[in-house]
Amino acid sequence: MLINRDTIIKDDNPLIRQKSEDVKLPLSKEDEDLLRALLQYVEDSTDEKKAEEMNLQPAVGISAIQVGIPKKLTAVIVNEVDKNDKPVTYKYMLVNPRIISSSLQQAYLSSGEGCLSVADSHEGYILRSARIKVKAFDLVSNKEIEIRARDYLAIVLQHEIDHFSGTLFYDHINQDDPFFAPQDAKEI
């Protein structure tokens, strides 16, 4: 499946607001191929040369609905540093991910969020849980997993899981005060 700037659906397409369906396990060949294509897009999009040659926009995650397929499939690659300041890469191909717990403390990206399906700029803070626990089947490890995510990884996972309900990041921006952030919210 070809995934690039031209094949990713934008927010003017009503399909992006469609609710995604659960995916049956074990994965069909079609669903597995789609999930692998999503991960390949994320990997290739962060390589400047490949991104230019293949017409890709840099991304840390992409969900199936963004290529017009309303299934709960998402691929994420996040590079961070752990609590010991060591680089760590989180790479997932998630099937039916769901948030099973979340912190009361909120977090937001100081630069705001972006999305492959959103061409226009939407300024403002998107408040999300600072820490979450996600349960899903992961094709990378080929098993059911539980992810304890915090900070940037938690934000990325919440952003992608939002796509399953047809929610886009800018739906979370406070219309009255776009840059409002509670005192105890964590700025990332």
Task: Give the Cα separation of 84 and 5 in Å (integer).
Answer: 37
The reply to whether 160 belongs to the active site is: yes
Q: How far apart are CA 103 and CA 64, in angstroms?
A: 27
From the list 21, 32, 160, 187, the catalytic residue is 160
CA 34 – CA 2 distance, rounded (Å):
10
Q: What is the DSSP string of 99-163?
A: EEEE-SSEEE-TT----TT--S---S---EESEEEEEEEETTTTEEEEEEEEHHHHHHHHHHHHH
Q: How crowded is the C-beta side of 114, counted as CA atoms within 13 Å?
A: 9
Q: Which residues are catalytic?
A: 160
